[in-house]
Structure 1
């Protein structure tokens, strides 16, 4: 039941919450006039704010639109994507970055058209170094040749430097803030760290905000 609840866009696409994810998708697509945003990462200030659930549902709504989507678990410390989509995590991103497997051998197909999963793979001793490596640049190039959109689930910004490193390699970053959980000064610090790393902030998703008509998610621009 937990996985079904997390993947509401897949299991209940007509729900008000699923509609809000589609609104976020639309806002992302309109956020850049001159270039199509194809590489995005989702993060948060701290743990437990819903970043992984948001990433998974955004991946689903992009796939439902007909885009070929790769969801990458770049949280190489506490990965969860393999649980959400019920795939094995014996190999994944770390296997590709350390040249143990070619990209398309590590990618997992699931029971949904257009959506593919790359779990974290074995947890490495040096996550930030791996994400900042030249191998990661090669990975990006190879993935963009195979997929229309690549979405990265990353660790919280204030916990480790991983998200800052990856924000520099992606075209856009989305921050998830848990309603009643995220503090304003933490969000400001998170934004400063990401922009300081030359990351492009697309916006903030306010998560678990009780709204009329049972709508729990909405999106607003960062500027």
Structure 2
């Protein structure tokens, strides 16, 4: 659910704005423009987090591009209810310029969907063309939010994390296994990815946090993912 669009004044929307602020101040020693959002496994809320985070940055006056780099099971176009005829894969395979496939969704927010699903997604995201794509769009936008496949089933997100300035890991409470989360973190650290933090989704309403069901919490800048800085948002 695009909660910042449907209920912009809700507590949940304010939560995403706080997440936005935490990310903006999470890196002090370099540029932070490309943010990869991933998870250990499927169904943990990474795409919802990426979409709402992109909207939060856009509503904050930043020029934002949301890229669906999940060239296996893309969902961004479904969440925004836009067409997915051409997109990232067409830039990588056919050499289309990003401005030829971009969807102008609203003020400050552009979207590039996945495009045609290729037979070799991992090779595509690891290519020089992918690096050039990111270099090109970084010139045009303040922030690029990248929705990627989950880490454990495929290698795409691990590859992309080396090109992103920072990575956010989404973990579903009560669903994600501790071992899977640790392995996902280790996969990122093995390639020297910058882990900005963790968003925990699907917190049960009886967990004692007092805000209702399925809340997200953001854990601040810590590559060992140990220091907690509670965030705020409910998974709609």
Same fold per TM (> 0.5)? yes
Which residue in the other structure is 1:205 paired with? 199
Tell whether 2:170 aligns with 1:176: yes
Pairwise CA distance, 1:100: 4.1
Long gaps (5+) in structure 2: 227-236
Pairwise CA distance, 1:20: 1.4
Tell whether 2:112 aligns with 1:113: no
User: Structure 2 residue aligned with 1:90, among 85, 92, 100?
Assistant: 85
Q: For the residues of structure 1 that align with 2:173 and 2:75, how far apart are their CA atoms?
A: 21
Per-residue CA deviation, residues 89-136 of structure 1 (Å, 9 max, x unaligned), is: 1100001112342110100011x2100100000000000000000001
| TM-score (normalizing by structure 2) | 0.89
Q: For the residues of structure 1 that align with 2:31 and 2:17, how far apart are their CA atoms?
A: 17
Q: For the residues of structure 2 that align with 1:23 and 1:206, how far apart are their CA atoms?
A: 14
Long gaps (5+) in structure 1: 1-5
RMSD of Structure 2 on Structure 1 (CA) = 1.2
Q: Which moved more, 1:150-159 or 1:19-28?
A: 19-28
Which residue in the other structure is 1:218 paired with? 217
Which residue in the other structure is 1:193 paired with? 187
| TM-score (normalizing by structure 1) | 0.94
Q: For the residues of structure 2 that align with 1:44 and 1:138, how far apart are their CA atoms?
A: 25
Which residue in the other structure is 2:39 paired with? 44
User: Residue 43 of structure 1: SS of its match in structure 2?
Assistant: strand
Pairwise CA distance, 1:218: 1.6
Per-residue CA deviation, residues 57-77 of structure 1 (Å, 9 max, x unaligned), is: 000000001111100000000
Higher helix proportion: 1
Which residue in the other structure is 1:146 paired with? 140
Per-residue CA deviation, residues 159-203 of structure 1 (Å, 9 max, x unaligned), is: 100000000000100000011111111110000001102211110
Q: For the residues of structure 1 that align with 2:212 and 2:10, how far apart are their CA atoms?
A: 9
User: Residue 213 of structure 1: SS of its match in structure 2?
Assistant: coil
Tell whether 2:20 aligns with 1:25: yes
Tell whether 2:50 aligns with 1:55: yes
Which residue in the other structure is 1:136 paired with? 130
* Deviating 4+ runs (over 4 angstroms): none
Which residue in the other structure is 1:164 paired with? 158
